[in-house]
Structure 1
Amino acid sequence: MKKSGCALLAVFLALCASMFFNLVLIGLLGAGGAENIASSHSFPPELREMVVEEGDPSQGKIAVIPVQGVIQTADASEWGTSMVDDIKKALRVAAADDNVKAVVLSIDSPGGEVTASDIIYNEVLKVQKEKPVVVAMSSLAASGAYYIACAADWIVANDTTFTGSIGVIIQSLNYEGLFDKVGLDEVVFKSGKFKDMLSGARPMTPEEKAYIEGMVKQVYERFLGIVAQSRDLDAGKLREGIADGRILTGKDAQQAGLVDQLGYIEDAFDKARKLAKVPEAEVIRYEPSLNFSRLLHLLGASAQSRLQLNVGPAPAFRLQPGRAYLLPEFYAW
């Protein structure tokens, strides 16, 4: 029995060692592949280029950069950092590469945090000053995602795209009634009268409500101004009309002047080629390099997901109290 147990242990250790060295080898090959792609500009080793549409390499490239999911700075992304950092990195790589003649932002997002959306918007503006930027809207490009799209030269939406939702939301949950039922009281020590103005254990005072509404209005006016300027629309008419938080289909958005063209992502590629005057340019996208650290990241994420109990659908994104969001109302839970 002891010999059998030792033999099984030896086999197990050998398999583990083999798997480890295979991962190291694959990681080294992946890192080498990323280095081969690098050109005269500084190409980060954690990224590699993948061809989306073949073309004439001598005419340069159109870089596709995705903006997907709720826009936020907190969660780690597939590249190991945050979504905002990943998009900034991809935009800067595209801007620094002389072979990239235009950028297509592929957007499928309900929006997200105000500051996160504004950071990406500002980064897209920097690229747009150097080379054409085209937005291709997928199923959803609302609120903060539309905020980002306003930095582009041209916006393509599908007939069935949901976009618009020009507005700002701050949410807090009031649980005062629940506390009363279970006999709980919140004890607060604060340095100023507004320090706990979003506390859910008590009603907000009229002064606190006015203060929060003022903050929302300030951010909303910035959003409205960006839309009006980028789309050459009257801010007053927007405020009295479609800029009330409503969702619009792609067709309605085009009629309202929020998008330029109805079509598909291939139409966005064609428009980018036309604006950059490179009709046969190939289309590429950036992906994480297959290296050892990337494999460990994937294995860690996989192990973490297995620890979750499958008791129903994944919870929806929840707004965090005190944060301002550019999101449709149906995400405000």
Structure 2
Amino acid sequence: MTHSLRLALLAVLAVLLGACAPKISLYPDYSAPLLEQHISGQGENKIALVYVTGPITTNPRKSFGLNSVTRPSVVQETVAQLHKAGSDPSVRALVLIVDSPGGTVVASDLLYTELMKFRRITNKPIVVQMLNVAASGGYYLSLAANLIHATPSTITGSVGTIFVSPQVYGLMDKLGLGATVIKSGRYKDIGSPLRPSQKEELKALQNMIDSMNSRFLKLVKTQRKLDQKALNAVAEARVLLAGEALELGLVDAIGYTDSAIAEAKKLAGITGNARVIAYRRTQYPDDNVYNTATGQWAQDSFLQNTGVQINLFPNLPTGFYHLWAPELSPSASQF
């Protein structure tokens, strides 16, 4: 065999191997559209699984590493899935898988509002299935569902509001650093990390928290039809296991995703088989209901697996949150 013939055969072999090789992307392209993926079951009627996982924000998420990837925010990704489920007449009901400690006040409210709009416009029922944690803002958005299910070990509750503001003035004093702030009004730099807050500033922030939290509690009372005794217990903002949440009326049943799917079928009036689907940017082998990813990578957490409070700052900016995050303070905090 001549040298040129050997080169030609090697070239053909490389092309064939390249065509057969699986496509692997270390840095996935999140401009790829969400596509319907079959999870289980058969039939014309569909039950759509929509996942809300991780901290709830309107900010795009960036992965860490040399080649960082920007991914859609939790709000954007969830709303995109709602639009797909709402525009498909074959989708008869939605099972919302919630695994989140909460997030910003605005983002939590946006998702609640979008879910209520989905129900109103499409007349399709929603059943929430809580996983590890569905606390604070994770519970807030769950209030939009027709039914709420939790696993026996789900942590939920934490119905409350918190203002988070990192403090760096002590460190600056030690380093001999300072800052000049020129402001137009006495409250213009309220919550500034560069100085201690004054008593009247703390009072003003507390009033804002109380107002935001009043809306949260009002939604709980209205949507869950709680009596005053149960509402008073919920207003303590404690985290609860599923059993106590069931007793207080915060959830409707204790079970797993299969029971949530069965309830969704019942609410939709489906008597026969139904196809369970999800919307993902990546096709997964052996896909099932426990895959909470829409793309190749799981979401980053606020805390980035670190217990050092200074590392919280880039990922937890100053603001108001419906969030259960005990890592924020070594002492007891109001949530």
Report TM bin, short chain.
Answer: 0.7 to 0.9
1:211 aligns to what?
Answer: 204
Distance 1:82 1:93 in 2: 17
Q: Please say if residues 47 and 92 of structure 2, whose CA atoms lie closer than 8 Å, have aligned partners that are also in contact.
A: yes
| Residue 179 in structure 1 maps to residue 172 in structure 2 | yes
Deviation at 1:239, TM superposition (A): 5.0
Q: Please say if residues 165 and 319 of structure 2, whose CA atoms lie closer than 8 Å, have aligned partners that are also in contact.
A: no
Aligned positions, number: 282
| Residue 189 in structure 1 maps to residue 182 in structure 2 | yes
Deviation at 1:242, TM superposition (A): 2.2
Deviation at 1:68, TM superposition (A): 0.4
| Residue 91 in structure 1 maps to residue 87 in structure 2 | no
Letter in 1 for 2:326: F
Deviation at 1:175, TM superposition (A): 3.2
Greater Cα offset, 200-209 or 97-106: 200-209
- Which structure dedicates a bigger proportion of its chain to helix? 1
Q: 1:179 to 1:18 in 2, by over 3 A?
A: farther
Q: 1:314 to 1:321 in 2, by over 3 A?
A: closer
Deviation at 1:89, TM superposition (A): 0.9
Letter in 1 for 2:146: D
1:39 aligns to what?
Answer: none
- Root-mean-square deviation (Å): 3.2
Distance 2:188 2:317 in 1: 13
Distance 1:76 1:118 in 2: 19
Deviation at 1:109, TM superposition (A): 0.7
Query: Cα deviations across residues 162-190 of structure 1 (Å, max 9, x unaligned)?
Result: 00000000122333333333322221111
TM-score normalised by structure 2 residue count: 0.76
Greater Cα offset, 216-225 or 122-131: 122-131
Contiguous gaps of at least 5 residues in structure 2: 1-10, 25-30, 63-68, 284-294, 330-335
1:137 aligns to what?
Answer: 130
Deviation at 1:315, TM superposition (A): 3.1
Q: 1:321 to 1:87 in 2, by over 3 A?
A: closer
Letter in 2 for 1:274: K
Matched residue of 2:226: which SS? coil
TM-score normalised by structure 1 residue count: 0.76
Distance 2:177 2:266 in 1: 65
| Residue 324 in structure 1 maps to residue 300 in structure 2 | no
Q: 1:61 to 1:177 in 2, by over 3 A?
A: same
Matched residue of 1:324: which SS? strand
* Equivalent residue for 1:115, pick from 96, 100, 106: 106
Distance 1:267 1:51 in 2: 19
